[in-house]
């Protein structure tokens, strides 16, 4: 028996209401904030993601990307993220001549070859928001606000922001912090376990969100990035926190919140929700003022976030949020009779269903010439309100039977008035 490849999932009809809830709400909120939709290809030249990731992370990135060679020899990659592709589009289509900042959102699948665990798959769907071309901290606030609006509208309760600033590449900023961080942990090198010793050598910032037992006692006194910010970054962060205070959005300054890639600057944030295992974050984002330059463009500030739809849905279920029901047909047209009469009744039912749908009334037709009993069972399970019954008697009199499933009442309605009658019941 065939199975889906590891980490790839079918999305079954049972989950459709959740998907509609999330995607429809995202679209609505985005338009409320004046964000415009962009859709980039699922495949980009591998270089877009490699250059975007920067040299340090390239090894890691290569390992987790679905990269393949096209028939003409080009190296292509299934997008492992949205931001790099959107920045490529920003440059390719000269979006810097549009009014700045450019506010974009997108929704679609991304692919990473990683091992599955709760809320993590090899293909997952992400809602992604980017604001490009403006460094004003009010933009950071705007991006966090739209995330907040989405999650509130979806029905989440008890959400909170985690915020931090990791500074910028200016020698007076992050490099100073990194040096202090390395010096601090190097002094305790003997206490670190193997994993954290490697972090110290490879990606010291990551020590700050280490889960290793041995390191926990060291974390409280570890140098915090917010204490090493340059003037520009400090003012930026203070302004952002000021806006968050003013809007009364609940947030916590989390000095251990970091990012793994070099192009991130200043603001990093997440939104956390309870109840989905180790993956508490339902949204992660940050400012990436260095990215566009890495891709060969002019210095261009940007900030954005991504939010995994599968994870959102899992969290919604965890919080027992009921998505709105999808629209369903409200009428079934059943046909009965044997032989010639049966075929006439079926044809008549076909005609009524067609007219109902044209009139905007959702209608179902039972197939396979089943017994009326069976057809009523089907109607009951489909949840329709009315069953129209057409058989020999109805064909002769022109008065068709309409059964209301709620109270089992039946009445005769003239065929000519049926459409209007049923439409009025909705």
CB of 74 to RNA, least distance (A): 18
Q: Within the chain, how many helices (H) and strands (E) appear?
A: 15, 16
| Cβ at position 76, least distance to RNA in Å | 14
- Type and span of the H or E element at 404: strand 399-404
Cis before 101? omega within 30: yes
Nearest to 326 by CA among 10, 20, 11, 12: 20
Q: Which residues pair with 127 in a beta bridge?
A: 107, 307
Where residue 4 falls (left for φ over 0; alpha for ψ -120 to 50; beta otherwise) is beta
Would you say 201 or 231 has its CB closer to RNA? 201
Q: How many angstroms separate the CA atoms of 405 and 191, rounded?
A: 72
What is the spatial distance between Cα 141 and Cα 244, in angstroms, rounded to a whole number?
Answer: 7
Q: Which CB sits closer to RNA, 43 or 239?
A: 43
Least separation in angstroms between residue 218's CB and RNA is 15
Cα atoms in the Cβ-side hemisphere of radius 13 Å centred on 132? 28
Q: Pick the closer one to RNA by CB: 12 or 248.
A: 12
CB of 18 to RNA, least distance (A): 16
Nearer to RNA, 25 or 332 (CB): 332
Instruction: State the minimum distance, in angstroms, from the CB of residue 177 to RNA.
Output: 17
Nearer to RNA, 62 or 153 (CB): 62
> Is 103 or 403 the residue whose CB approaches RNA more closely?
403
Nearest one of 57, 30, 128 to 87, comparing CA atoms: 128
Instruction: Give the interface with RNA as residue ranges (CB under 7 A).
Output: 1, 3-9, 49, 53, 57, 60-61, 64-65, 80-81, 83, 112, 114-119, 195, 198-199, 203, 206, 209-212, 259-261, 264, 277-279, 284, 306, 336-338, 368, 370-374, 376-381, 389, 391-394, 401, 403, 405-408, 410
Query: How many of the other CB atoms lie within 10 Å of CB of 380?
Result: 12
- DSSP assignment of 363-381 equals EE---S---HHHHHHHHHH
Decide whether 117 or 152 has the Cβ nearer to RNA. 117
Closest CB to RNA among 285 and 323?
Answer: 285
CB of 174 to RNA, least distance (A): 15
Q: Which helix (H) or strand (E) holds 197?
A: helix 194-202
265-272/281-287 β-pairing: antiparallel
Name the minimum Å distance from CB 246 to RNA.
Answer: 28
* Smallest gap from residue 110 Cβ to RNA (A): 8
Q: Coil, strand or helix: which one is 217? A: helix
In the complex, what is the shortest distance from the CB of residue 59 to RNA, in angstroms, rounded to a whole number? Answer: 10
Nearer to RNA, 2 or 246 (CB): 2
Q: How far apart are CA 398 and CA 417, in angstroms?
A: 10
Please give the Cα distance from 240 to 89 (Å, whole number). 28
């Amino acid at each position: 028996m065939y199975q889906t490849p590891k980490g790839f999932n079918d999305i079954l009809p049972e989950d459709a209401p959740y998907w509609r809830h999330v995607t429809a709400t995202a679209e609505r909120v985005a338009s409320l904030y004046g964000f415009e939709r962009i859709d980039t290809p699922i495949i980009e030249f591998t270089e877009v993601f490699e250059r975007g990731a920067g040299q340090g992370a390239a090894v890691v990135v290569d390992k987790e990307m679905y990269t393949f060679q096209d028939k003409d020899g080009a190296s292509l990659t299934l997008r492992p993220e949205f931001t790099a592709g959107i920045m490529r589009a920003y440059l390719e289509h000269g979006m810097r001549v549009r009014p700045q900042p450019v506010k974009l959102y997108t929704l679609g699948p991304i692919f990473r070859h990683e091992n599955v665990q709760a809320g993590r798959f090899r293909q997952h769907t992400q809602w992604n928001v980017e604001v490009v071309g403006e460094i004003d901290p009010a933009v950071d606030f705007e991006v966090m606000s739209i995330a907040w609006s989405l999650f509130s509208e979806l029905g989440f309760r008890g959400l909170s922001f985690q915020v931090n600033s990791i500074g910028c590449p200016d020698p007076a900023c992050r490099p100073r912090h990194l040096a202090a961080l390395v010096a601090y942990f190097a002094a305790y090198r003997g206490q670190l376990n193997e994993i954290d010793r490697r972090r110290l050598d490879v990606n010291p910032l990551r020590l700050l969100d280490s889960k290793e037992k041995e390191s926990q006692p060291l974390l409280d006194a570890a140098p915090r990035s917010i204490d090493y910010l340059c003037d520009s970054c400090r003012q930026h962060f203070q302004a952002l926190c000021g806006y968050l205070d003013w809007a009364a959005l609940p947030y916590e300054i989390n000095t251990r919140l970091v990012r793994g890639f070099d192009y991130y600057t200043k603001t990093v944030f997440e939104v956390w929700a309870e109840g989905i295992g180790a993956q508490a974050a339902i949204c992660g984002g940050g400012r990436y003022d260095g990215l566009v330059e890495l891709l060969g463009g002019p210095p261009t500030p940007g900030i954005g976030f991504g939010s995994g739809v599968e994870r959102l849905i899992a969290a919604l279920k965890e919080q027992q949020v009921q998505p709105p029901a999808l629209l369903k047909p409200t009428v079934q047209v059943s046909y009965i009779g044997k032989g010639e009469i049966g075929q006439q009744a079926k044809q008549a039912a076909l005609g009524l269903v067609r007219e109902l749908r044209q009139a905007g009334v959702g209608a179902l037709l039972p197939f396979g010439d089943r017994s009326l009993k069976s057809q009523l069972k089907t109607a009951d399970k489909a949840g329709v309100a009315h069953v129209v019954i057409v058989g020999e008697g109805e064909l002769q009199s022109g008065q068709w039977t309409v059964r209301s499933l709620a109270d089992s009442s039946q009445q005769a309605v003239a065929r000519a008035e049926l459409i209007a009658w049923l439409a009025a019941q909705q």
